[in-house]
């Protein structure tokens, strides 16, 4: 009874959260989020991008750690969930910003919107998976959904990190300007890092078999599909010799 009100809140919020992703998707098709190559004035004061990224993404690390500690699910599967989530979060919150080039800026307003997003998202993942969702016992570790989802999650993570590393090396060579990325999955798409990220969170949905996971995957598509389309158009506008057969996000398709 203690958590009954909160259980209902989480069940309601997870579907509302997915509906909001639909609205964000439409908005982001119209206006690209103002960071990175699409930064523009009018979004208020800025902070160093490294600090901005670390702060923005940090609820995924501390929020999930707190919710795991508070939650009642302690099966081997719950440990596997928190381990996989932790792998992504330690990379995104600590390693990714540390390896960014100094000197770049991020609007504080964008950072704060990102914090808001990650607080709600971590809350939904953590409460559903470690408290209100079905208890996944040790047997879940041999379930085909867990195995297939984990393969997708780790494969997507590897694609994302590899593509981000290629972009970082490119930036080092091109002296702080943008250049055409070549090789790896860039042969086929402009944004393999986004493709990897989307595969990763679809994998999370499958391995946790949860509506909370699905909501995060839907949000990831809502954020990254419009941005991949904008980035692809930007490459085409900026570089006349941009490889003509390369797609935005999905090899051969889109």
Q: Yes or no: say if 189 and 173 are a contact pair by the CB < 8 Å rule.
A: no
Using Cβ positions, the residue closest to ligand NDP within the complex turns out to be: 36
Contact between 209 and ligand NDP (CB under 6 A)?
Answer: no
Sole binder of ligand NDP in the list 27, 95, 179, 254 (CB under 6 A):
179
Contact between 167 and ligand NDP (CB under 6 A)?
Answer: yes
Residues 8 and 18: their CA atoms lie apart, in Å, by 16
**Burial annotation 60-78 (CB, 10 A radius, 16+ → b, else e):** bbebbbebbeebebeeebb
When the beta carbons of 92 and 127 are compared against ligand NDP, the nearer one is 92
When the beta carbons of 36 and 76 are compared against ligand NDP, the nearer one is 36
Contact between 97 and ligand NDP (CB under 6 A)?
Answer: no
* Helix (H/G/I), strand (E/B), else coil: 48: strand
Sole binder of ligand NDP in the list 223, 225, 229, 248 (CB under 6 A):
223
Contact between 178 and ligand NDP (CB under 6 A)?
Answer: yes
Contact between 220 and ligand NDP (CB under 6 A)?
Answer: yes
* Helix (H/G/I), strand (E/B), else coil: 105: strand
Structure tokens at 70: 């508070």
When the beta carbons of 153 and 194 are compared against ligand NDP, the nearer one is 194
Sole binder of ligand NDP in the list 60, 63, 133, 181 (CB under 6 A):
181
- On the CB side of 21, CA atoms within 13 Å amount to 22
Q: Summarize as ranges the residues that interact with ligand NDP (CB under 6 A).
A: 36-37, 100, 104, 160, 164, 167, 170-171, 174, 178-179, 181, 193-194, 197, 219-220, 223-224, 227
């Amino acid at each position: 009874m203690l958590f009954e009100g909160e259980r209902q809140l989480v069940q309601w919020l997870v579907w509302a959260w997915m509906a909001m992703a639909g609205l964000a998707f439409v908005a982001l098709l119209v206006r690209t989020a103002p960071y990175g190559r699409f930064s523009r004035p009018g979004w208020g004061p800025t902070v160093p991008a490294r600090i901005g990224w670390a702060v923005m993404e940090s609820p995924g690390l501390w929020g999930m750690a707190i919710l795991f500690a508070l939650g009642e699910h302690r099966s081997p599967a719950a440990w596997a969930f928190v381990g996989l989530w932790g792998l992504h979060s330690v990379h995104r919150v600590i390693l990714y910003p540390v390896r960014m080039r100094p000197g770049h800026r991020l609007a504080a307003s964008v950072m704060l919107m990102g914090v808001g997003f990650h607080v709600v998202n971590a809350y939904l993942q953590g409460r559903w998976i470690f408290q209100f969702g079905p208890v996944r016992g040790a047997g879940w570790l041999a379930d085909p959904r867990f195995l297939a989802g984990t393969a997708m999650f780790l494969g997507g993570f590897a694609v994302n990190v590899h593509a981000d590393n290629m972009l970082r090396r490119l930036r080092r060579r091109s002296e702080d300007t943008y250049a055409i990325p070549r090789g790896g999955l860039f042969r086929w798409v402009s944004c393999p890092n986004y493709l990897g990220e989307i595969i990763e969170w679809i994998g999370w949905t499958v391995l946790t078999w949860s509506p909370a996971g699905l909501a995060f995957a839907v949000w990831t598509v809502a954020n990254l599909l419009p941005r991949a389309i904008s980035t692809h158009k930007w490459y085409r506008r900026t570089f006349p010799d941009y490889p003509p057969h390369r797609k935005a996000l999905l090899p051969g398709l889109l």
